[in-house]
């Protein structure tokens, strides 16, 4: 009988010792911070942030409150806010935060649930204030790059307005307040679309006017360049013509000086060509110098004879 009781007693003793150890020691993980509360009191020495095993007095003399000190994300509800120009829009946001002062967190809120409730209440006020400073066009528009930049500035303004207060009040460090979604109430959507269309039409008209002005300037410049080029070409043509006339005059002078008879013959041909160019009927005195070549030779034949005057053309033979 005694032999069967001994193992049972040993087992019971081990269980009791394990239970006492469990009540007397606790573990703090690397992702946690703990606050040791003795008889309902805690101070800065009660905070444990280093991972490891620690001793404690059994409950109810001491209680241990552990907190996850990693980053957390809390969704903020989509709420309707009013802009500076009296328009309504619905904004949904989120906040990224972590516990940085476990003692203050324990004293003020104690649990994550209560901390999130306090944050939502305060951040809703901050969102209303920051959004109310801007007009509707700040949040929605056709220029997506400008809208994104405005949203980033809005997030920065909300963070600046809330971060310091939440850290001092609850021991919470807010890392980011982001905009998840911006939408318009149904009754506002049509009005905003009309304003966007009007803005787009205004921009289009401005761009058309600018295009016309640029086109007119280009045309004017092209016409001026064309006139300058034409004037330059005419000037060059006159110079070339003048040079040609001078060269022709010089050549004719040389011919006249070297061979007077040949020069007079060329002048006679030129005058005759001009006179007959239009195929007109011209009445000229037979004693006119222009008919001199038909009466007597002007040029001497290199072999000693003169150039024969053009004779009458024989009539074609009559056909039977």
DSSP 63-115: EEEEEE-S-EEEEEEEEEEE-TTS-EEEEEEEEEEEES-HHHHHHHT-SHHHH
Predicted TM-score (pTM) of this structure? 0.54
Give the domain ranges of the chain. Answer: 18-68, 72-184, 259-295
What is the mean pLDDT of the segment spanning 41-48? Answer: 88
What is the mean pLDDT of the segment spanning 167-192? Answer: 84
Among 141-150, 174-183, 193-202, which is the least confidently predicted range? 193-202
Greatest mean pLDDT among 47-56, 88-97, 188-197 lies in 88-97
3-state secondary structure 292-309: HHHHCCCCECCCCCECCC
CA angle 86, 88, 91 (to 5 degrees): 135
Name which of 48, 33, 111, 100 is nearest 56 in CA terms.
Answer: 48
Tens-digit pLDDT profile for residues 100-137: 999 999 999 999 999 999 999 999 999 999 999 998 88
What is the structure's pLDDT at 286? 66
In words, the CATH class of domain 72-184 is alpha beta
Greatest mean pLDDT among 242-256, 275-289, 304-318 lies in 242-256
Torsion of CA 63, 108, 165, 47, to 10 degrees: -20
By the 10 Å C-beta count (0-12 exposed, 13-18 middle, 19+ buried), 314 is classed as exposed
CA angle 106, 111, 117 (to 5 degrees): 115
């Amino acid at each position: 009988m005694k032999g069967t009781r001994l193992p049972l007693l040993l087992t019971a003793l081990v269980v009791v010792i394990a239970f006492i150890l469990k009540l007397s020691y606790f573990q703090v993980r690397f992702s946690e911070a703990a606050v040791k509360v003795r008889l309902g009191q805690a101070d800065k020495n009660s905070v444990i942030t280093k991972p490891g095993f620690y001793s404690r007095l059994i409950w109810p003399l001491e209680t241990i409150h552990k907190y996850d000190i990693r980053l957390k994300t809390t969704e903020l509800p989509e709420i309707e806010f009013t802009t500076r120009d009296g328009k309504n829009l619905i904004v949904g946001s989120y906040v990224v935060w972590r516990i940085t002062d476990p003692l203050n967190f324990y004293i003020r809120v104690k649990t994550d649930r209560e901390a999130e409730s306090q944050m939502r209440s305060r951040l809703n006020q901050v969102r209303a204030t920051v959004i109310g400073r801007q007009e509707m066009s700040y949040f929605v528009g056709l220029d997506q790059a400008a809208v994104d930049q405005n949203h980033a500035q809005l997030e920065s303004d909300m963070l600046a307005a809330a971060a310091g207060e939440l850290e001092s009040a609850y021991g919470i460090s807010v890392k980011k307040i982001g905009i998840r979604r911006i939408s318009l109430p149904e009754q506002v959507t049509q009005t905003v679309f009309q304003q966007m269309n009007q803005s787009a039409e205004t921009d289009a008209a401005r761009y058309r006017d600018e295009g016309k002005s640029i086109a007119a300037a280009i045309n004017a410049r092209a016409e001026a360049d064309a006139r300058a080029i034409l004037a330059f070409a005419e000037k060059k043509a006159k110079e070339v013509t003048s040079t040609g006339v001078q060269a022709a005059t010089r050549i004719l002078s040389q011919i006249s000086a070297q061979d007077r008879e040949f020069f007079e013959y060329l002048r006679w041909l030129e005058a005759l060509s001009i006179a007959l160019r239009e195929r007109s009927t011209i009445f000229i005195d037979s004693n006119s110098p222009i008919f001199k070549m038909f009466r007597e030779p002007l040029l001497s034949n290199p072999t000693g004879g003169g150039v024969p005057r053009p004779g009458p053309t024989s009539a074609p033979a009559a056909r039977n």
